[in-house]
Chains A and B, each alone.
Chain A
Amino acid sequence: MRSSVIVFPGSNCDRDIAVALEKMQFKNQMVWHKETKLPKTDLIVIPGGFSYGDYLRSGAIAGKSLIIDEVIKAAAAGCLVLGICNGFQILTETGLLKGTLLRNKNLKFINKDVNLIVRNNKTKFTSKYKLNQILRINIAHNEGNYFTNPQHLEKLKKENLIAFKYCDEKGDINKDSNPNGAMENIAGIFNDKKNILGMMPHPERMIDNTISNSDGVNLFSSLIS
């Protein structure tokens, strides 16, 4: 399976995701944002970081870059797209995912491991997880407070487009287990066709028990299977 990681000035998780993809046997290529053509690819990853220094709004400038037109075309043709952290912010700025990510409710940059619950395991991104499986995955963001309009929120729930929610260690989804104020504890969502996943937590940081844990592995093994 071929993957492409899009690199913007200010991306800083691009190497981490490349290591994770290669470890999981993806044939990966790095793609600079000024490219106007994507290599043949089955998965596009928009990595985390601070593209363009978060100028204007997180993801706003990267969301208008040259390569993004190609990402939009590829996504429309069914290519899988994964946006992590700043990548999620960029995907909302392009319109590929609806809603937006506001400043964290407590106005603090949060870098810690949190509990997530898998809310839909019938997708290409999550099939190797169990439904309602609890994962421990790192978050590191300043704008992760997911916000959308009530109609879209209803649709997310009805059509099972919520991938992950923040929860406590028992799997309870409540205010105390919501790190950033996101609506309904949402940590990651799919588009209608479920070929695009945007998530604030960093699965690429959880692929090795020596440095963290391996709760992120199954996201990549779902994709490659």
Chain B
Amino acid sequence: MKFSVTVTLKKDVLDPQGKVVHNTLTNLGIDNLKSIRQGKFFEIEVNETDQNKAEDKVKEMCEKLLVNLIIEDFQINKLQ
């Protein structure tokens, strides 16, 4: 079973990289740009047929290693 995990900085944490990307896009003439937050993306395949169990495993992975919970939030989505 395949999942995607998106990791982003929490709202109150400054994201200097996102800010620079935002500024650069503005300089390139792209208007209507409201905000950009840069993050990380993981594609994870789990050897498990039960979706709940598989999701729990991915959540465990996030909490144990993939995400620094002090500054980051994560979102798990099932793929396919």
Chain A interface residues toward B at CB < 8 A? 56-57, 60, 64, 93, 98-100, 102-107, 147-149, 181
Contact = CB atoms under 8 A, between A and B. Distances in A.
A103 B13 contact: no
B17 A102 contact: no
B65 A64 contact: yes
B70 interface: yes
Contacts of B66: 56
Chain B's interface size range is: 10 to 19
Contacts, number: 31
B70 A107 contact: no
Contact of A148 (B14, B64, B70): B70
Nearest to A98: B70
Contacts of B70: 98-100, 147-149
B20 A107 contact: yes
B16 interface: yes
B25 interface: no
- Could you tell me the dominant secondary structure of chain B's interface residues? helix
A100 B68 contact: yes
B13 A102 contact: yes
Contact of B71 (A56, A60, A104, A147): A147
A105 B16 contact: yes
A105 B14 contact: yes
B68 A60 contact: yes
A100 B65 contact: no
A93 B71 CA distance: 12
Interface centre among B13, B14, B20 (most CB of A within 10 A): B14
B16 A103 contact: yes
Given A56-B65, A56-B66, 17 more contacts: A60-B65, A60-B68, A64-B65, A93-B68, A99-B70, A100-B71, A102-B13, A102-B14, A103-B17, A105-B14, A107-B16, A147-B13, A147-B70, A147-B71, A148-B70, A149-B70, A181-B14
Nearest to A148: B70
A106 B71 CA distance: 18
Nearest to A150: B12
Contacts of A102: 13-14, 71
